[in-house]
Each structure stands twice: as C-alpha cells, then as structure tokens.
Amino acid sequence: MGLETIVISIVFYCLFFGRRHDAEFCAYLSKLLQNPMIRVIMISTVLVNALFITMETDYNIRFQSHTFLEFFILFYVDPLNFWRSGYNILNAIILLLAYLPYTINKNNTKYYWTWSTLKGFQVLRILKLINYSRGMMNLMTAVGQTMKTVIYVLILLFLLMFIFAILGHGLYGDPDSGDIENWGNLASALFTLFSLVTVDGWTDLQSSLEEQGFTASRAFTIVFILLGFFVFFNMFIGVVIINIQDSTQNYKWECKAETQAALQAKKQAILKRQQEEVNKLMHQQYKAFIELVDNFKKTLQHSDTVVLEDFCVSIAFIDLYLTSLDLQDDTIYRLQGLYYELANTLNAMLVDMKETAEAPPENQKDS
C-alpha cells in the first residue's frame, strides 16, 4: 500500500466518519457558493460552454475545471448528505459524461462512434442551469411528484389502446380486404391508435378505412377518440396542471415565508444595533461622568473654602437640630426609667401572688 493510498484513506475517513474540525471553513465555503456573483459566474460558464459546444470547439477543459471545482466544494462541505440530493447526483453524472470522451482515442475508428456518442451527451451540461433557478427546480419537483400519478393514467391508457388494438386488428386487419398498413399487426395497430390519441391525422386514417369499405368504422374511431383523447389524455394533462399549480402555490408560500423571515431578521438586527448604540452611548456618558467626578476630586483640597447656601447647612438649623436631638435623648431616658418602675412593680405583684398561693389553708382561716 503506497503513501498516496494511505493519505486518501485518511482523508475519506475524516470526511465520512471522523469529527470535522473545519466547521467554520465549511460554513464559509457554503456561503461562498450561495454568493450571487459566484452563481452568475457559474451560469455564465454553463451558457458559454454550451455555445462553444454548438461551435464544435475544444474549450471544454477550462469549463469543466469550474464545474469540477464546484462539485468538489459541495462534496467537501457535506460528503454524507451530498448524494441525498437529486441535483447533486445529476451534476455528478454530467461531470462524469464530460470527462469520459477524454478517455477514448477518437482517432481510432473502432471507438469513434462511442466517442461521438459521448460527445453528444455534453449538451446535458445545460441541465446544470436547473440548480441555479428556484423556479425551474420547483417545476422539476412538480414533474417528479406528478410521475407517480401519471404512471397509473398511462397504464390505463395503454390497456385501453391494447384492447382497441386487438379489436382493430381483428376487424380491419384482414390480409385480403383490410387495411394492412395501419391494422395489419399489433404493432401497427398500436401506432395507429397512438395517432388517434393525439388526434393527429385521424381523418386520413378514417378515410383509409372507408376506402376499404369499412363505413361502420366511424363508431370505432369516435369511441376510441372520446375515451383516449377526451378522457385519458385530458386526465393526464389535468393531473400535470394540478400538481404544477400546487407546487407553484407552495413555492409562493415559501417565498412569502422567506420574505417575512428576512424582514423579521432585518428588524431584529436593526433593533439590536439600536440597543447596542444606546447602551454604548449610556456607557460613554456614565464613563464620562465618572471621569468628570474623578477629575473634580483631584482638584479638591482640605483648605478649600466651600460656600454653603442650603438651609440644612446653616448655623440656626444645626443649633435647632442639636437641641431636638438632646430633647429626644432626654425623652428616651425618662421612658426607660418609667419602664424600669413598671417592671419592678409587676415583679413585686408576682411575688405576692406566688406567696399567697403557697400559704397553707389554716393560716388563711386565722387570718
């Protein structure tokens, strides 16, 4: 096992099973791919590449380098969930088809047809534009969801065509007197019924039957057109339209929800920025006030003369206040003396009551 194999194994293990230590770098790459300028560059690359393909030039390597770089970045950001997206799988297939022609020698006549076939598949690169347009992605999603219902409609239509093909072959496919070209075998009958389903040239088919003498075939043709075209074919179109309308409505709701979320986020960002500015301004004012007070304190000295103008700092108020404090102290002292006398009186009463309760009953009678 070589050194390169070991390094590749370690890288893939870290990507798929190991703990990522470059989450910030992956987030940056994901945000970079969503940049409108990058998307414009990729769309322009695809369009110019398609133009050069039509001109049959050999500028493919340069454009494939852009595509491979985008593919590698998407795979590097989230390798596990990368293959869960159908558009990523489509991009991988397109990239693979783009590089396959360079593995074949086009000068060898044995492989020239294979090379030219793979070269023709290069036009599939235009499908990458679907990934850059939410409208087209929404439409393709609706088509994919429609296929589940459309398959049942197509199966019923095929059964109807198969039944009428057998009837038409039995009625009008006689080798001697029938319409061999349109009803001679089951394959030609199915192809004829397909033309009747699309209502393309059905008058010519009916005229051919009438020329063979099958005048009653009008009922057969009308019944099949009514069932095949007006019922099943229009049912098919109706199912597609309904699914596309539902998908379009969901897309509008998603866009509206995203717009509201963006507006709400913008409002929150504005409010947060305003709150930060207010807090910063208040902090600056508080800091400036503290600095002002500190600077003022530094200028004060013990020998400074202070001019007092308030009544609370006047001599008369201070004299009256001190007198009130003396009177309050005297009142508290007298109240304390009164409390002491009350306590002594109550104590003496309790002692007398206790002695009276403990005296014998005879002494109480003599007394």
Digit-coded pLDDT (tens) for 54-101: 555 444 444 555 666 667 777 777 777 777 777 777 777 777 777 777
Distance of alpha carbon 297 from alpha carbon 248, whole angstroms: 72
- Arithmetic mean of pLDDT, 238-257: 83
Indicate the range of 113-122, 221-230, 291-300, 302-311 predicted with least confidence. Answer: 302-311
Helix (H, G, I), strand (E, B) or coil at 214: coil
Pick the range with the lowest mean pLDDT from 46-50, 279-283, 287-291: 46-50
CB-based burial of residue 268 (10 Å sphere; 0-12 exposed, 13-18 middle, 19+ buried)? exposed
Give 10's pLDDT tier (boundaries 50, 70, 90): very low
The SS3 call for residue 135 is helix
DSSP 8-state assignment for residue 233: I
CB count in 10 Å sphere of residue 151: 10
Q: With bands split at pLDDT 50, 70 and 90, how would you rate the model's confidence at 50?
A: low
Per-residue confidence (pLDDT) for residue 96, from 0 to 100:
79
Q: Report pTM.
A: 0.48
Q: pLDDT (tens digit, 9 = 90+) per residue, 123-153? A: 777 777 777 777 777 777 777 777 877 888 8
Least confident of 16-20, 226-230, 330-334, 354-358: 16-20
Section 324-331 average pLDDT: 93
The predicted pLDDT at position 104 comes to 76
Quick: pLDDT tens for 154-179. 888 899 999 999 998 888 888 877 78
Tokens of 61: 């390597």
